[in-house]
Structures are given as C-alpha cells and as structure tokens.
Amino acid sequence: MSILIKNVTLLPMSGEGTIVNNAYVRIKGQYISEVGTGNAPDGRDDLVIDGSGQLLMPGFINTHTHAAMTLLRGYADDLPLMEWLETKIWPLEDQMNGDDIYAGTRLAILEMIKSGTTCFADMYFSMDRVAEAVRDTGMRAVLARGMVGVGPEHQQALDESRELVANWHGAARGRIQFILGPHAPYTCPPDYLKRVIALAEELDTGIHIHLAETAGEVSDIEKQQGKTPIALM
C-alpha cells in the first residue's frame, strides 16, 4: 500500500531545529520511501492525505511505563509511594493474570498511538503477554521483566528474563527489544544488582530500573549503602 501525505509542515528532528514547509512524505508498505517539498511526483498512491495546517514528525517515545496498569487508573491516588505499593497496588496485582496484562497493555497502546507515541519502554510482569500485545498492534517497545532481588523468586526472575530475551529480543521484525528490569535499589540489593549486570553483559542487552523515585528512597539508600541511589549505580 502506498500513502502520500502532502501540503504538510515537516519537523524531521534532525537536531538542527529544521522545519520544512509545504512538504510531502510517501510511505510504501512499512517504510518511508520519499520525502520532498512542493508537488509530489505521481506515485499512484492508494491513499492521499492533505496535511494542510498539520505538523508531521517522528513518533514520541515513552521511556518508562507499566502499560497494563491502565487497568488500575484511579484505583488508589494521592498516597505516599510505599503505602500505595504495599497496601494497594501489589495486593491487587497479585490477582491479575496474563489475560488482564494483555488487555491492559492493548488499552495503553491505543492511548499512546492516539497521542503520537509509537514506542515505549515497559517493565512489568507476564511480559510474554505484553510482547504479544506489541506484536499484535504494530507498536515498537523495549520490554523488561520486573525483577525483585529479595524473596523466593529472585532466581526465577533472572531465569525468566534470560528466556524472554532468547524468545522475544528482535521479534516482530525488530519492533520488540528485551532488556533486564531490576525493580529498584530498595528491592534489589547490591549483590543482586551485580548478578543482573553480569547477565546483561552476557546477553548484550540493557537495563531498565527505577532510581531515586522519592526523597525517602534517597535517604534510606544513603543510610544503608553510604551512597545515593545514583552513586550506587
């Protein structure tokens, strides 16, 4: 399928602040095939969109999400972080299954697409279902299985992350990337973080982590480790 967008103001995000007026962009299949100004050469396009008065630019990237939590919107607002997590969010998440995660992620993807976001970085659980939602919707995503370094599932989190990278990294024609997701310094002690870093180096992938979210976290980590969360990394 060939799509032509014409008469549009183009913001190419080239790093130079360039704005191109009276531009056109032609898309063939999955790829941008032509960009120019003025009248576009005849391409026998299947769809022609008049972009007069509109701005065309690359899609936004949301660099930190828990996409399926769209289902929890409004459930527990205006609470301190740890009270919110421990008394509201974590107990409810324990009742969610893979189908819930898939549906919540698809809802989040719909909302992101409507606001111009075409790629997101997500850390959560049931990440195979998140990956399926990304695959099924045409979105791009950098995904990570949330990992907690204390409690009985710390090794399972490492093993599942390895499996997710093996099964999904580069899937959907490269639209899906998988990295590692240690939750935070207050749930992942330094020794566990070292194991995560070693695995990331082995798999040649990245790391997604919560860091210095609250003043309380910064104070607690400084007392425990003698460093701020940023310095600890």
pLDDT value at position 65? Answer: 97
Same domain, 100 and 176: yes
Of 56, 71, 92, at which residue does a domain stop?
Answer: 56
Same domain, 64 and 51: no
Same domain, 88 and 103: yes
Same domain, 176 and 85: yes
pLDDT more than 90, % of the chain: 82
Domain range enclosing 71: 60-232
Same domain, 91 and 135: yes
Total-model pTM: 0.88
pLDDT value at position 205? Answer: 97
- Residue 200: pLDDT band with limits 50, 70, 90: very high
Give the 3-state secondary structure percentages of the chain, helix then strand then coil, rounded to 5. 40, 25, 35
- Residue 46: pLDDT band with limits 50, 70, 90: very high
pLDDT value at position 16? Answer: 78
pLDDT value at position 82? Answer: 85
- Bridge partner residues of 64 (DSSP): none
Cα–Cα distance between 109 and 156 in angstroms, integer?
28
Same domain, 129 and 221: yes
Cα–Cα distance between 215 and 220 in angstroms, integer?
9
Same domain, 16 and 121: no
pLDDT value at position 151? Answer: 85
Same domain, 154 and 136: yes
Same domain, 212 and 187: yes
- ∠ Cα 1 133 205 (to 5°): 100
Name the domain count of the chain: 2
Same domain, 20 and 131: no
Whether 182 has a pLDDT exceeding 80, the answer reads yes
Whether 195 has a pLDDT exceeding 90, the answer reads yes
CATH of the domain at 84: 3.20.20.140
CATH of the domain at 35: 2.30.40.10
Same domain, 145 and 68: yes
Same domain, 26 and 99: no
Give the least confident one: 22-31, 76-85, 92-101, 197-206: 76-85
Question: What H or E segment, with its residue span, contains residue 157?
Answer: helix 154-168
The CA R_g of the chain, rounded to the nearest whole Å, is 21
Give the least confident one: 72-76, 112-116, 202-206: 72-76
The mean pLDDT of 171-181, rounded to a whole number, is 97
- Residue 18: pLDDT band with limits 50, 70, 90: confident
The alpha carbon torsion through 147, 161, 133, 141 (nearest 10 deg) reads 90
pLDDT value at position 126? Answer: 96
Q: Let me know how long the chain is.
A: 233
What does the buried/exposed string (b/e) look like for 2-39 if buried means 16 or more CB atoms within 10 Å of the residue's CB?
A: ebbbbbbbbeeeeeeeeebeebbbbbeeeeeeeeeeee
The mean pLDDT of 98-127, rounded to a whole number, is 97
Cα–Cα distance between 57 and 9 in angstroms, integer?
9
